[in-house]
Amino acid sequence: MLFAVLLTILGAAVIAIAILAAMVEKRNETIRGLQEKVVRDSASHPLSYYSSRGEILPVIATSRKSLGSGYILSIRNECSEELHLALAMDNAESRRRKTVDIVLDAQHTAEFGHFDDWKLSAGDTVEISHLGFTPVTMRLK
């Protein structure tokens, strides 16, 4: 009788372990699927991908004060192709305007503190553009 009870308990334990193992495997499959989705969604795309999705320029532009005087402009190319950009800088106070062309490698970030005779300063407006895309405009404060 004791032997039958032990075998029943052992059988129940084996079934419980099998159920837990199946639950863990299912959880691992879900995690792997989500990881693949994150990688797929964050993958770099060609420029044509962005132009077919509302013509949003695939750049991230930020600015910060430099250690000295002026500002540093940081531009990140989010696409998988080299990106030719036009930067139009304008300072309404001094009535100056300058346009420069830059090229950013794929998935590359570049920082700029000045362009030839133009040092970025408070009040400057910078417009980043590429033919066929909506430009990105920022004002340095």
Is the whole model's pTM more than 0.75, yes or no?
no
Residue 55's pLDDT is 77
Alpha-carbon distances of 80 from 53, 83, 117, rounded to whole Å? 16, 9, 32
pLDDT score at 32: 84
- Predicted local distance difference test score (pLDDT) of residue 92: 83
Q: Which residues of the chain have pLDDT under 70?
A: 38-44, 52
The rounded distance, in Å, linking the Cα atoms of 48 and 83 is: 12
Q: What pLDDT score was predicted for residue 124?
A: 92
Q: Cα(138)–Cα(127) distance, rounded to whole angstroms? A: 6
